[in-house]
Structure 1
Amino acid sequence: MAKYQIYMVRHGRTWFNRYNKMQGWSDTPLAPDGVEVAKKAAQALKDVDFKAAFSSDARRAIDTCKLIMDANVNADKVQPQKLMEFREQFYGYFEGMNSPEAWFMVGQPHGASTFSEIIAKHSLDATKDFMKEADPFHDAENAEEYWTRLNRGFKKLDEIAKDGDKILLVSHGTTIRSITDRYNAGNFDVTESPQNSSLTMLERDDGFNRVTSYNQMLS
């Protein structure tokens, strides 16, 4: 199996990001400042020899990926593709809700009132399990469902990656944070969310993941 690098970029800032609303499988377009920060990321990454480019199937990720690849040295060789496996976590009933309100409802039964407090007292995976538990429909993804989906995505990347490849993957804040938390090779502080259009680097070697940098701002 190949050893390759994944350049994980969070999408540009959206309208729901601006309003601090839960945005998992729901989707809002990039806000004007989100387009601008994505263009800055594109300039910072323009000389990276990407052999493939992927995004989740959310419009905010697709648009960010296109902005980056349109400026890339391999723009005429690499066509961005969608991988639904790298969608954001599904928040079920809580989609579109005010974020602090949602996390208060999810965390209170477990002695925590904010997202960061749930992580500190329990774990990042616990935020997923607690959310499914609090969802009156139980539609939200728990940790097992979430990681089963992401692992399918990594296996799809393995099918196309060759030794030494650099692959662009535009995904989402909680997804990048969760991957960093699970495969943390640098003691990165995942209580801090990756910023919009920031870069997180992951090395994948023979099916094993290792995050080597987290939340680097691109300008």
Structure 2
Amino acid sequence: MAINLYIVRHGETYFNFLHRFQGWSDAPLTPKGIQHGIDAGERLNNIHFDGAYSSDLTRAIHTARYILQHNTTQSPKEPTQLFDFREQFFGSFEGINGETVTTTLQAYKTENFGTYANLVAKYGMADAMDTVALADPYHFAENDQKWWHRVSHGFADIQSRHSDGDNVLIVSHGTTIRGIAEKLGRHDLAGEPVKNGAVMQIALSVDHADIIRFNDDSTVF
């Protein structure tokens, strides 16, 4: 038996639309982003969630609320906010155009990668996080170790709150979802940008975690 996690990426924000690194910065959902939350809620509306959580950033909280508003079972009405499931902190790159950040990161690699997505695909999510931290002139950005220490603590917290068979909703962020996939041995999935409102389903047991679905924005559960 395992805890069934449904980890959803928040809806589109204005920073997403403008192709800016977002991290811990807060930008509101666009109208399309609100619809992402509604659509995710309609796909998940028949699942009874024994617990509902979001990162404590506004875009995740609001997306979780839209999902729960459309739930037809006796699920929680409000997500519990967990700092542990925030996005990676990008430090001084927060709010900066993605092409500008990628150009800066390129100086720390010998091979050309062109885009941030290609950096992840070529070197892996952990290396990409470490490169962001290394390139941050103010040394604010999280590296892979700091990020995973936080997120793994979040998983331990979820396990302490729930029992085998429970269904748990978590609304989180694109880089965090890709990083989790890589930590679970799925570099092939980590190299795939996560769609707003898409679901990663994980079966989480005491000593193992299996990814059942990834980047799924079409299944009606």
TM range (shorter): over 0.9
The Cα shift of 1:181 comes to 1.7
The answer for the alignment partner of 1:191 in structure 2 is: 191
CA contact (8 A) 2:55 2:82 kept: yes
Gaps of 5+ in 1: none
| CA–CA distance in structure 2, aligned partners of residues 134 and 180 of structure 1 | 24
The Cα shift of 1:36 comes to 1.1
In structure 2, do the counterparts of structure 1 residues 188 and 133 end up closer, same or farther at CA, with 3 Å as the change threshold?
closer
AA aligned opposite 1:16: F
Gaps of 5+ in 2: none
| CA–CA distance in structure 2, aligned partners of residues 168 and 148 of structure 1 | 21
What's the secondary structure of 1:6's corresponding residue?
A: strand
The answer for the alignment partner of 1:203 in structure 2 is: 203
CA contact (8 A) 2:121 2:190 kept: no
AA aligned opposite 1:178: G
CA contact (8 A) 1:184 1:210 kept: no
The answer for the alignment partner of 2:156 in structure 1 is: 155
CA contact (8 A) 2:49 2:76 kept: no
Query: TM-score by structure 1 length?
Result: 0.93
CA contact (8 A) 1:184 1:212 kept: no
The answer for the alignment partner of 2:72 in structure 1 is: 73
| CA–CA distance in structure 2, aligned partners of residues 7 and 58 of structure 1 | 18
| CA–CA distance in structure 2, aligned partners of residues 159 and 79 of structure 1 | 20
Query: TM-score by structure 2 length?
Result: 0.92
The Cα shift of 1:109 comes to 1.9
The answer for the alignment partner of 1:171 in structure 2 is: 172
AA aligned opposite 2:83: M
| CA–CA distance in structure 1, aligned partners of residues 160 and 121 of structure 2 | 36
| CA–CA distance in structure 2, aligned partners of residues 39 and 169 of structure 1 | 15
What's the secondary structure of 2:25's corresponding residue?
A: coil
AA aligned opposite 1:74: T
What's the secondary structure of 1:215's corresponding residue?
A: strand
CA contact (8 A) 2:37 2:67 kept: yes
Q: How does 1:6-85 map to 2 (within 5 A)?
A: 6-74=5-73, 77-85=76-84
What's the secondary structure of 1:195's corresponding residue?
A: coil
| CA–CA distance in structure 1, aligned partners of residues 36 and 167 of structure 2 | 22
CA contact (8 A) 2:68 2:76 kept: no
The answer for the alignment partner of 1:89 in structure 2 is: 88
The Cα shift of 1:209 comes to 2.0
CA contact (8 A) 1:42 1:72 kept: yes
Identity score, percent: 34
| CA–CA distance in structure 1, aligned partners of residues 210 and 100 of structure 2 | 34
Deviations 1:52-82 (A, max 9, x none): 0000000000000011111112356454100
AA aligned opposite 1:50: F
Deviations 1:142-173 (A, max 9, x none): 01101000011011101111110110000000
